[in-house]
Amino acid sequence: DIGDLVVLMAKRRYLQQTDDNNNGNEESNDNSTRRVVSINQKMICHVFESDEAQSIAQSIGQAFQVAYVEFLKANGIDDPSFTRDIDYQEVLNQQEIGNEELDRFSKKECQKEVIVPKSKNESLGIVIVESGWGSMLPTVVIANMMPTGPAARCGHLNIGDQIISVNGISLVGLPLSSCQAQSVKHLTTVRLVVVPCPPVVEVLIRRPDTKYQLGFSVQNGIICSLLRGGIAERGGVRVGHRIIEINSHSVVATPHERIVSMLSNSVGELRMKTMPTQMYRLLTGQENPIYI
């Protein structure tokens, strides 16, 4: 489910028999003739639109799970690992996808166009970083602005804003190097489409018991990996982000072992604040900005 859309995909098998002629493919056994059957597969995709998209998707998922369990039982299979998967699915169903971010990127009115006047051969005066794997819309984020540069002078851009396009060229899904390579230095006007976003990302994960994994790993406060489809991804965790707070407690100067302990033992609602690591390092003076 994506916003008010439900996408249902299924693989369908088609059986195709040969014609009545032998064509060298028929095999005879005890005076009986057997036709050769070929199997073709197609992926069918249905798209539905409804205000109840999330509930519909959950109902479809639960229906398939129940049907599969009954199928296993009917065939004498009792798979406890699958039951555990169903338990985790129930936890997933309780985990809301970050609605604010979804609304922000799915609604055209949340985007704004910014015209940045500049001198020829003058840089824009911004530092951009990746939004982080796990973002609702993978693009680049303004991590720093030169105080006297064109981007800051125009007065319509802020640190944290995500850039959707530059002069009509979409940056969505492009690697950081390709976004940085967009040549605008020779221009006197640059047109940006951005989605205004706060520099700090707020994460909410619902975890009823420590037996359910959070679904991400952390090293020295930096999120290193993320389980695809887990409760952490749904809650807004992003790879490459620095954790700033855990349940309203600052962890900026907290040792790695303590952070791991706080995360591992969390039950109920886990609230975190994160930001791209390079943005954090720039804001705290640990790195010097390289403007484009």
Residue 177: CB atoms within 10 A of its CB come to: 7
Q: Contact 45/18 with Cβ under 8 angstroms? A: no
Q: Is the pLDDT of residue 25 over 60?
A: no
- Residue 119 has a pLDDT of 92
Q: Is the pLDDT of residue 138 over 70?
A: yes
Task: Say yes or no: domain 201-284 is CATH 3.40.50.620.
Answer: no
The per-residue pLDDT for 85 is 56
Residue with tokens 């707070």: 245
Per-range mean pLDDT, top range of 36-40, 49-53, 77-81, 269-273: 269-273
Query: For the segment 97-116, what is each residue's pLDDT rounded down to a tens digit?
Result: 655 666 677 778 888 999 99
Cut 0.75: pTM above it: no
Is 45 or 271 the better-scoring residue by pLDDT?
271
Report pLDDT for 163.
Answer: 93
**Confidence bin at 78 (pLDDT 50/70/90):** low
* Distance between CA atoms of residues 116 and 53, nearest Å: 39
Q: Is the model's pLDDT at 6 over the cut of 50? A: yes
Per-residue pLDDT band for 26 (boundaries 50, 70, 90) equals very low
Of 173 and 117, which is predicted with more confidence? 117
The average pLDDT across 183-205 equals 90
Can you read off the two tokens belonging to residue 118?
């500049």
The residue with tokens 């855990």 is 246
**Class at the top of the CATH hierarchy for domain 101-195:** mainly beta
What's the pLDDT score for residue 27? 46
Q: How many CB atoms lie within 10 A of CB 133?
A: 16
CATH topology match: 101-195 vs 201-284: yes
Residue 9 pLDDT level (bands cut at 50, 70, 90): confident
Residue 60, pLDDT > 70, answer yes
CA distances from residue 18 to 13, 14, 25, 32, 34 in whole angstroms, order as listed: 16, 13, 8, 16, 10
Q: What is the mean pLDDT of the chain?
A: 81
**104 or 139: whose pLDDT is higher?**
139
Position 249: which residue type? H
The ranges assigned to domains in the chain are 1-15+38-78, 101-195, 201-284
